[in-house]
Amino acid sequence: MPLQKDGGRRRGRSRRLQADPQLRLPYDAGFERPDATPVSAPPSSRERGREADAMPPASSREAGVLQFVVNRRARRYVLRLRHDGSLRVTIPRSGNRRQAEEFVERCAAWIARQRERHAERAAAQREAWTDGRLVLWRGRPTRLAVVPCGERVRIALGEVTAEAPAGASVRDALGRACRRRAEQELGPRVRELAAPLALDVARVVVRDQRTRWGSCSRYGSISLNWRLLQMPDEVRDYVIYHELMHLKRADHSRRFWRLVAGVCPWYREAERWLRLHGPQLL
């Protein structure tokens, strides 16, 4: 499958602490942007030694707020670094605060790496919305145009155009225009892919989700991120197939992945593209 691989800066990211996607969101028929991937561990996985990554325990906490949340449905500890820099630790029913703190300490290296990536991304965002910048659009690096025009600026990316008052957020204006474009395109595409599979889609909603590519409700409503338009068509279709298969199975079990493979044999390559390029999407 010809996935566009150009335009991406490879970052030497270690993903060792990333949980297996089949275990990650057992009750949640959605999947997440890589930059939001939580780390998780079973309630008593003390043996998961990470001596090589060990840092002074305090380093995992000093940089931000640490919040503990007990979730009776959770089956393992889950650590999430939020966009505001705070950390949230989910404690499973069988867990306790002390083990949760130990879990956080074991994840010190992961936290440090994530914070570094947040900082890099924030720096990239500051210079992001300028004329001439290359942005992924349908999988290809595409020049963003931001041209002053009297009191306003004209913005163009691929076939999407927008206008904003001078000084207003280019990002917001472009994001709204991309979302409108995605609303025109993604609904029909979902139905096109669903029809031969005899799947009934109640509703397609396009969102500006910070942390997800898509999700599927138990009532047959599929939500998709407008950033699917930034992906190569094959990757966009994979995200749609992924959510469509959640109409059959609302989990990430082996059977689910077999269903995905059945309709979308290139899904592994698509996942790889998302891991590599997902964090750079607008």
| 31/110 with CB nearer Zn ion | 31
Helices and strands (H and E) in the chain: how many: 8, 13
Q: 70: which strand partners? A: 91
Residues 84-103 close enough to bind Zn ion by CB under 5 A: none
Residue 94: how many CB atoms within 10 A of its CB? 13
Residues 31-50 close enough to bind Zn ion by CB under 5 A: 31
Q: What is the distance, to the nearest Å, from the Cα of residue 85 to the centroid of all Cα atoms in its chain?
A: 17
Q: 183: which strand partners? A: none
Taking CB positions, which residue lies at the least distance from Zn ion?
31
| 135/201 with CB nearer Zn ion | 201
| 31/129 with CB nearer Zn ion | 31
* Helices of type H across the chain: 21-24, 59-62, 97-106, 108-126, 170-194, 233-246, 254-263, 267-277
Q: Which stretch binds Zn ion (CB under 5 A): 24-32, 95-103, 107-115, 230-238?
A: 24-32
| 109/204 with CB nearer Zn ion | 204
| CA-closest candidate to residue 174, choices 149, 203, 150, 145 | 145
In angstroms, rounded to a whole number, what is the distance separating the alpha carbons of residues 123 and 5?
24
| 135/222 with CB nearer Zn ion | 222
Q: Write down the least CB distance from residue 102 to Zn ion, Å.
A: 30
| CA-closest candidate to residue 115, choices 82, 73, 78 | 82
Q: Write down the least CB distance from residue 28 to Zn ion, Å.
A: 8
| 24/76 with CB nearer Zn ion | 24
Q: Which stretch binds Zn ion (CB under 5 A): 30-38, 82-90, 135-143, 191-199?
A: 30-38
Residue 71: how many CB atoms within 10 A of its CB? 12
Q: Which stretch binds Zn ion (CB under 5 A): 29-37, 76-84, 154-162, 267-275?
A: 29-37
In angstroms, rounded to a whole number, what is the distance separating the alpha carbons of residues 121 and 117?
6
Q: Write down the least CB distance from residue 246 to Zn ion, Å.
A: 6
Q: Which stretch binds Zn ion (CB under 5 A): 23-31, 41-49, 51-59, 205-213?
A: 23-31
Binding-site ranges for Zn ion (CB under 5 A): 31
